[in-house]
């Protein structure tokens, strides 16, 4: 009996030893192998801080602040379920979301993956204290973009984000790491190559617990270059407050050099949050990406075309009875103005006068002058995703829709209706070109890179249009403000030389018209051209009232 017991004990011991060997060698062998051999080299990327963005007066519009990222080295992961369970508890984030982030951002076995960013110092310390349990896990100091003024200049500045997975292979060829923050829109995107810093890194030896044994080498990151904009944050603040979240845009341009002093699109968003919950497309920069019918503002170039091509003179008159009859269709006007000459047609914005001009000129000549004055083509402003708009014509209509061009289309074109589409920036530049007798400037937002002034935008182009034609049209634009019956008379501000043109443009059926005012000021401080646009804003009078309030504020601040 005693022998059987001893035999049983011996057999049991052998069985336990065998099971242990199987467990430790076959099942957990890789884990213990990693523990014994894991004194290895780890490369830790160090992101170069992004350059700042400043306005023309030195106010910082985009800066950086210190933050902490949670990173995982895929090759060092042992128990991925336990790892994600731990991170879920510390971060307060669902495990599935962490797993999805890990899988989406995983680029290569040796490349660290950011699974959470912008951690508080407290949470970062908790993770650091548990590194011995998860050798693949570590905390990396990083930076996060900070926009001190929040909504101010949101569409101009743009924002940064992680590289899209579809572009990783493309951008890594240009020195970007898979975890890099890159500009997504606005100045942040257009001048990303200057703003982004040069990445550095650490080569460290770590032990089996992921703890640093020694620093092998270091390459210091290099901060990106600072960029100074032509934008005046004070102008931006004024226009932002005036629009009050109403859909629209205001563009303010130094008409002597093309510097954009202000470009506000509404509604907007806080750059530090980028979630607004607002309707009406807050992320759309209406100043350059929104295209809308210009309405009567278009009459400026039709008048120029008629004068320059010598189809009419300043004294040419047409009679307005309140409508123009074409076949069985009546094309209307706001009033029966009676006999009108060119200056009077601009003062009263008489549609009938321009229906006659449209028929005299034809759509081809109107198209040619529209393109001369920058409509239907890109301004080439140094911001991404600008749209060219459209000035329709017979050839374009046939090519795009196989439809005919009718006389009624020419009538609509002559008053900026039909298929005609423009951006607020295009109209601001157009009126600046008129104000300078045909000298076209290049709109731009870049002033300097690291305090070195950039002169690449300082070229001008002279329009092949007679100076006399410009002088006559400018006389009409000034009279539209100073004449008691002028459509922009509300803008006759004491102490300011204001000239311009109103526009009320039809939009979709059942919706309010778009409201426009484009004008220029010959001031003591600067000569500026500007465009005020209210999407579905009703009458152009509403745009004039907003423009007046803007000019009064600028005058009060002695900025004109």
Residue 32: enclosing H or E segment and its boundaries? helix 29-37
pLDDT score at 508: 86
pLDDT score at 35: 45
357-392 burial by CB neighbour count: b if 16+ within 10 A, else e? bbebbebebbbebbebbbbbeebebbbbebbbbbbb
pLDDT score at 495: 93
Q: Any idea which residue has 């992921």 for tokens?
A: 210
Cα Rg, the chain, nearest whole Å? 33
pLDDT score at 118: 87
Domain made up of 233-556: CATH architecture: 3-Layer(aba) Sandwich (3.40)
Nearest to 180 by CA among 202, 154, 199: 199
Q: What 3-state class would DSSP assign to 145?
A: strand
Q: What 3-state class would DSSP assign to 167?
A: helix
Exposed / middle / buried, residue 195 (Cβ in 10 Å: 0-12, 13-18, 19+): buried
Distance CA 450, CA 217 (A): 30
Judge if pTM exceeds 0.75: yes
How do the pLDDT tens digits run along the chain, 560 residues long? 566 666 656 666 666 666 655 554 555 555 545 544 455 676 777 778 999 999 999 999 999 999 899 988 888 888 889 899 999 999 999 989 988 888 887 866 667 888 898 888 899 999 989 988 988 888 888 889 999 999 999 999 999 988 876 666 666 666 677 667 899 999 999 999 999 998 887 777 777 666 666 767 777 889 999 999 999 999 999 999 999 989 999 999 999 999 999 999 999 999 998 865 567 899 999 999 999 999 999 999 999 999 999 999 999 999 999 999 999 999 999 999 999 999 999 999 999 999 999 999 999 999 999 999 999 999 999 999 999 999 999 988 988 887 899 999 999 999 999 999 999 999 999 999 999 999 999 999 999 999 899 988 888 999 999 999 999 999 999 999 999 999 999 999 999 999 999 999 998 888 999 999 999 999 778 899 999 999 999 999 999 999 999 999 999 999 98
Pick the CATH number of 40-229 from 2.30.290.10, 3.30.9.10, 3.10.20.740, 3.90.1310.10: 3.90.1310.10
pLDDT score at 21: 54
CA distances 491 to 255, 499, 508, 542, 547, Å, are 19, 9, 29, 11, 8
CA distances 153 to 158, 224, 453, 459, 530, Å, are 8, 21, 21, 26, 17
547: cis peptide before it, omega within 30°? no
Distance CA 520, CA 471 (A): 14
User: Which residues on adjacent β-strands are paired with residue 266?
Assistant: 248
Q: What 3-state class would DSSP assign to 266?
A: strand
Distance CA 189, CA 195 (A): 9
Distance CA 153, CA 381 (A): 16
DSSP 322: S
Distance CA 393, CA 457 (A): 31
Q: How many residues does the chain have?
A: 560
Q: What 3-state class would DSSP assign to 508?
A: coil
Nearest to 47 by CA among 196, 161, 173: 196
């Amino acid at each position: 009996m005693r022998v059987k017991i001893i035999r049983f004990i011996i057999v049991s011991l052998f069985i336990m030893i065998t099971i242990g060997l199987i467990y430790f060698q076959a099942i957990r062998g890789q884990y213990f192998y990693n523990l014994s051999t894991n004194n290895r080299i780890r490369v830790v990327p160090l992101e170069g801080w992004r350059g700042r963005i400043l306005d023309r007066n030195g106010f910082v519009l985009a800066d950086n602040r210190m933050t902490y990222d949670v990173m995982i080295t895929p090759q060092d992961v042992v128990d991925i379920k336990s790892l994600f369970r731990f991170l879920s508890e510390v971060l307060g984030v669902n495990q599935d979301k962490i797993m999805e982030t890990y899988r989406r951002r995983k680029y290569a076995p040796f490349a660290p993956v950011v699974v959470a960013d912008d951690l508080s110092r407290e949470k970062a310390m908790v993770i650091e204290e548990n590194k011995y349990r998860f050798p693949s896990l570590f905390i990396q100091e990083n930076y996060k973009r900070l926009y001190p003024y929040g909504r101010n200049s949101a569409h101009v500045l743009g924002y940064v984000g992680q590289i899209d997975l579809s572009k990783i292979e493309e951008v890594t060829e240009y020195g970007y790491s898979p975890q890099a923050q890159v500009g997504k829109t606005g100045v942040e995107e257009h001048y990303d190559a200057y703003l982004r810093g040069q990445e550095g890194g650490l080569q460290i030896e770590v032990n089996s617990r992921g703890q640093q044994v020694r620093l092998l080498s270091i390459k210091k990151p290099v901060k990106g270059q600072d960029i100074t904009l032509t934008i005046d944050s004070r102008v931006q603040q004024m226009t932002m407050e005036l629009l009050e979240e109403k859909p629209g845009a205001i563009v303010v341009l130094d008409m002597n050099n093309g510097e954009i002093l202000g470009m506000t699109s509404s509604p907007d968003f806080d750059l530090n949050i980028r979630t607004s919950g607002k309707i009406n497309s807050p992320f759309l920069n209406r100043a350059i990406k929104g295209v809308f019918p210009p309405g009567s503002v278009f009459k400026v170039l039709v008048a120029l075309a008629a004068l320059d091509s010598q189809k009419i003179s300043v004294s040419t008159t047409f009679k307005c009875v309140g409508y123009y009859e074409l076949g069985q269709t009546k094309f209307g006007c706001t009033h029966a103005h009676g006999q009108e000459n060119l200056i009077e047609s601009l003062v009263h914005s008489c549609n009938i006068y321009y229906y006659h001009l449209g028929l005299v000129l034809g759509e081809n000549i109107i198209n040619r002058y529209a393109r001369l004055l920058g409509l239907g083509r890109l301004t080439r402003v140094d911001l991404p995703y600008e749209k060219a708009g459209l000035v329709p014509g017979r050839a374009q209509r046939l090519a795009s829709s196989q439809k005919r061009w009718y006389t009624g289309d020419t009538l609509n074109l002559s008053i900026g209706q039909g298929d005609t589409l423009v951006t607020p920036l295009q109209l601001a530049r157009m009126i600046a070109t008129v104000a300078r007798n045909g000298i076209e400037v290049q709109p731009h937002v870049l002033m300097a890179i690291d305090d070195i002034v950039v002169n690449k935008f300082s070229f001008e182009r002279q329009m092949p249009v007679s100076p006399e034609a410009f002088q006559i049209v400018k006389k009409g634009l000034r009279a539209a403000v100073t004449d008691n019956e002028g459509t922009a008379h509300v803008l006759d501000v004491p102490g300011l030389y204001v000239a311009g043109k109103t526009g009320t443009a039809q939009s979709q059926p059942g919706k309010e018209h778009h409201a426009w005012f484009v004008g220029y000021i010959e001031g003591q401080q600067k000569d500026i051209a500007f465009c005020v646009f209210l999407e579905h804003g009703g009458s152009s009078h509403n745009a004039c009232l907003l423009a007046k309030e803007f000019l009064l504020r600028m005058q009060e601040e002695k900025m004109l």
